[in-house]
Amino acid sequence: MKLIYERAGESARMLEPLDVPALRPADGMARKTELKLPRVAESEMSRHYAKLGRAAFGVCDGFYPLGSCTMKYNPKVNEAMAALPGFTDAHPTQDAPGCAHALALAKEYLTEITGMDDMTFEPCAGAHGEFTSMLMVRAYHLSRGDHGRTKIIVPDSAHGTNPASAAMAGFEVVPVASTADGRVDVEALRALVGDDTAALMLTNPNTLGLFDENILEITRIVREAGGVNYYDGANLNAVMGVARPGDMGFDLVHLNLHKTFSTPHGGGGPGSGAVGCKAFLAPFLPGSGDERSIGRVQAFGGNFLVVVKALCYLLALGREGVPAAAEAAVLNANYLKKRLSEKYACAAPGVCMHEFVLDLTRLRQETGVSAMDIAKGAIDCGMHPPTMYFPLIVHEALMFEPTETETRETLDQAADAYLKLFDLAYTDPEALHNAPTTGSISRPDEVAAARSPRLRYEHTA
Ligand SMILES: *Cc1c(COP(=O)(O)O)cnc(C)c1O
């Protein structure tokens, strides 16, 4: 597909000649080179963007079980509420009691759901919330004159942003092993903690979709060693309204409002990585007004309209609806897991939470078809692929998170398609090596796209 710069532009019609005096920019302010804009007619431009839109795949196009990302359907009414002019036209420095009330209500509900005492909405993504939390952990230890706490313990099943955030905040990352059944190795943790432990970063349920039953003991071990317990709340969709991080022994938590609480995501934002904490950490929050605050991490209140959507979602679901959504997410994941285990091997046996991981090691050994090949085959079945090669502790991993907003009919169609792909691996592996064949591109060089992205158009003339 041609870029808009590459389209022929004879039909472009620029503005009428000026019939008023031209206003020149102040000296030195005018650009020195010509501004290179695409020159196409409005009709061509509309087609161009409509075509780009069709090339994208979203939750409204089909099944999107991208594990760990919670790609659930986001009710349109929440968008409509967040688009009300009273919210969109308010300036952050303006006295806007309605906006302040919305923020206060969202804080009240989300601290209740997480079992925390206070919260900031400044961070704009999950990773940003993690980083904010790590800065708070550091400020907390230093405020007590404890300078030796330099290490953050992170399970080897963790999302990659966890060790990255800890390292960016200046900590040393210490991995703790998982047991064969995918939980934290409690004895290994006990041996790791000490005077140098700043915090544990943990997500529960973890990235294998497993709830760690030893959670109270895990957080006790860290607390008794003088460390802070930090909860990566990106997986809250599995437990919201059912179990609270605060009751599991956690002191600090980030939420992905854009995953769990109804903001479309995947296209780069805007998001919200709200950070909640227990009272003893509240002085360290951004904008706490206390001199121990870590300071701002984002202008004003963060992505306010994302918080409005979360609030509308919570008001619509209510006290019964929030846990019901979590329970349906868990039920859907278990249903799909059960159906896929007719043929596929699972990384962890038994009941899962909101997501589960398939292990295709054996399929690859027997057929040469990889997790990547199956994921690409799913595209030809009209579905978004699951998360591939994550968590890192499973080799040929495919991670499915169907979410609560899928019907049984969709889950059955997906299961049938994946079981067919499994058979195809044995009968025609070549077909899967060449998939997908229905998209506008087949197999892009994903490493090059991530490592050396070309983000600017290089004009030749
Ligand atoms: C998505 C995710 C994150 C990071 O959130 P972003 O908003 O993408 O920065 C962190 N941890 C887990 C477990 C996640 O699934």
- Residue 461: both structure tokens together: 């003339």
CA dist 70 and 403 (Å) reads 6
Contact status, residue 288 vs residue 282, Cβ threshold 8 Å: yes
Helix (H, G, I), strand (E, B), or coil: what is residue 275?
Answer: strand
Q: Whose CA is nearest to atom 3 of ligand 1?
A: 126
* Distance from Cα 184 to the centre of ligand 1, integer Å: 19
Q: Whose CA is nearest to atom 2 of ligand 1?
A: 234
Task: Name the packing angle between helices 371-380 and 408-427 (round to 10°).
Answer: 120
Read off the pLDDT of each residue in 14-23 and give the average, rounded to a whole number.
85
* Distance from Cα 143 to the centre of ligand 1, integer Å: 29
| pLDDT confidence band for 17 (50 / 70 / 90) | confident
Contact status, residue 306 vs residue 270, Cβ threshold 8 Å: yes
* Distance from Cα 128 to the centre of ligand 1, integer Å: 9
pLDDT of residue 70: 96
CA dist 349 and 357 (Å) reads 10
Helices (H), 263-352: 304-340
- Work out the number of other CB atoms within 10 angstroms of the CB of residue 408: 11
For 372-392, give the DSSP string: HHHHHHHHHTT----EES-ST
pTM of the model: 0.92
**Run of H or E including 357:** strand 356-359
Atom of ligand 1 nearest to the CA of 129: 9
Q: Whose CA is nearest to atom 14 of ligand 1?
A: 234
Ligand 1 within 6 A of 204 CB? Answer: no
| 428-442 residue pLDDT tens | 999 999 999 998 788
Task: Give, for ligand 1, the residue of 70, 156, 157, 159 to mutate: max count of ligand atoms closer than 8 Å to Cβ.
Answer: 159
Q: Would you give the end-to-end CA distance of the chain in angstroms?
A: 21
| pLDDT confidence band for 12 (50 / 70 / 90) | low
pLDDT of residue 461: 60
Ligand 1 within 6 A of 161 CB? Answer: yes
| 374-431 residue pLDDT tens | 999 999 999 999 999 998 889 999 999 999 999 999 999 999 999 999 999 999 999 9
Read off the pLDDT of each residue in 149-177 and give the average, rounded to a whole number.
96
Q: Is residue 10 scored above 70 in pLDDT?
A: no
Ligand 1 within 6 A of 125 CB? Answer: yes
Task: Give, for ligand 1, the residue of 134, 256, 272, 298 to mutate: max count of ligand atoms closer than 8 Å to Cβ.
Answer: 256
Q: Whose CA is nearest to atom 15 of ligand 1?
A: 68
DSSP 26: P
Sequence-distant (≥ 6) Cβ neighbours of residue 288 within 8 angstroms? 118, 282
Q: Which residues are bridge partners to 399 per DSSP?
A: 357, 387
Q: Is residue 339 scored above 90 in pLDDT?
A: yes
CA dihedral over 124, 129, 130, 131, signed as positive or negative: positive
How buried is 231 (Cβ within 10 angstroms: 0-12 exposed, 13-18 middle, 19+ buried)? buried
